[in-house]
Chain A
Amino acid sequence: MTDQPLNRRGFLARAASLGLTTALVTTLAPRLAFAEWNKAAFEGKTPADALKSLGVADAKESADIQILASDIAENGAVVPVQAVSKIPGTTQISVLIEKNPSPLAAVFEIGPDMLPDVTTRVKMGQTSNVVVLVQAGGKHFTATKEIKVTLGGCGG
């Protein structure tokens, strides 16, 4: 960030090469300096908004997705969630917290060298359904688990 003009030029070239010309105005702001980060999906205010921005039109419930998390979280600031997909050809696993102000928590790209099994910790403002969305062979599948929160994680 020391050489502003050069930085900006590099940025423009990178954005243009990725075909992001329409997003140029927003990419000039430093905090949005990501080529791939799906801004629309992460800033979606409802699960439906987030799913739409992820390109999900029709997601089927699947029993082959496991959400491993406790039923009750004492501290909503740190809720461990493990998502495991047994659907062959899983290429993406996303985690959404339905009632959070921005529901989409994470999108994991599952490459050919990875097992579809990821664990992380999320914040939950209140008791909510946690939705795991799996993309496999161009189709989408979901599983839902309710986690009760006794102490919120998004308060000031």
Chain B
Amino acid sequence: MGNPMKIRATAKDGVTEVKVLMSHEMETGFRKDSSGNPIPAWFIAEVTAKLDGKDVMKAQWGPSISKNPYLSFKIKGGAAGGKVAITWVDSKGDSRTDQATIA
């Protein structure tokens, strides 16, 4: 399930800026452990965002995204009190959804 995301959503002049900090190892699959065995890849592959239940953003990621990924994007519309929900799915099929209220 992973740890909760930190989500901040702020509406200003008709644009909602969303900032998300996720908690994930983002293992590339290229590294080796101390005994020389490859560490298998494990990373967030898909990220989606909803504004008040409607899909607004969809992203595909590779392992080049940093550990504990940060993402920020801008949505047209949205108002204080609205809900932004972010979902990620990782390469092991695990997923997590968190929601924040627009400030």
Binding site for B on A (CB under 8 A): 1, 30-34, 36-38, 42, 77-80, 97, 100-109, 111, 113-115, 117-123, 153-156
Binding site for A on B (CB under 8 A): 15, 26, 28, 30-33, 41, 45-46, 51, 54-67, 69-77, 89, 91-93
Contact in complex: A111, B57 (CB < 8 Å): yes
Contact of B58 among A1, A109, A153 (CB under 8 A): A109
Q: What would 27 A/B residue contacts be, using CB atoms closer than 8 Å?
A: A31-B41, A33-B93, A38-B60, A42-B60, A78-B67, A80-B70, A100-B64, A102-B62, A102-B64, A105-B62, A109-B59, A113-B54, A113-B76, A114-B57, A114-B76, A115-B73, A117-B74, A119-B71, A119-B73, A120-B65, A120-B69, A121-B70, A122-B66, A123-B63, A123-B65, A155-B31, A156-B31
Chain B interface mostly helix, strand, loop or mixed? strand
Contact in complex: A111, B55 (CB < 8 Å): yes
Q: How far is the CA of A115 from the CA of B14 in the complex (A)?
A: 11
Looking at the assembled complex, report how far the CB atom of A65 sits from the nearest CB atom of chain B, in whole angstroms.
Answer: 16
If A106-B62, A113-B51, A123-B64 are given as contacts, then 17 extra A-B residue pairs at C-beta distance below 8 Å, sorted by A number, are A30-B92, A32-B91, A33-B93, A42-B60, A42-B62, A77-B67, A102-B28, A114-B74, A115-B75, A118-B59, A119-B71, A120-B72, A121-B65, A121-B66, A122-B65, A153-B66, A154-B30
Q: How far is the CA of A155 from the CA of B39 in the complex (A)?
A: 12
